[in-house]
Amino acid sequence: MSEFDALVESIGSIAERIQDLQRQATQQYKTVVGDILHSGCRDAKRIEQALDGLLDFCGHEPVLRLYKRLCRHYWDIDPAATADYIKAHREHWDNEEHWGPKTP
């Protein structure tokens, strides 16, 4: 096997592991977000811990959907903090198309 082939194989293995982590994050945070939403939780610390964890995986569409749902819930509790989480997402992932244009 050439060095190039070994490199390609290694990259493929890393990509598979990343996809596995994304799937695991989706399943774990789906439960967390579901619990927060269904209970009507207003505990800022609990919500922010979930948002902090979700942020790392927002490049994966199912996780981004959970992040957005939780942001919508949190907006009624603390709009300023929620705006900070939306800003953090934009800074980290540099992709406004998921949120729409900024409003003045």
Q: What is the mean pLDDT of residues 17-23?
A: 87
Buried b (16+ CB within 10 A) or exposed e, 44-56: eeebbebbeebbe
* pLDDT number for residue 13: 81
Q: What is the mean pLDDT of residues 23-29?
A: 94
Q: Which two tokens stand for residue 84?
A: 């900070």
Res. 104: pLDDT tops 50:
no
Res. 10: pLDDT tops 90:
no
Tens of pLDDT, residue by residue over 47-102, are 999 999 999 999 899 999 999 999 999 999 999 999 999 999 988 887 555 555 55
Domains in the chain: boundaries:
3-94
Higher pLDDT, 34 or 10: 34
Give the predicted TM-score (pTM) of the model: 0.80
Helices 79-93 and 44-55 cross at an angle (nearest 10°) of 10
Query: Which residue has 């596995």 as its token pair?
Result: 20
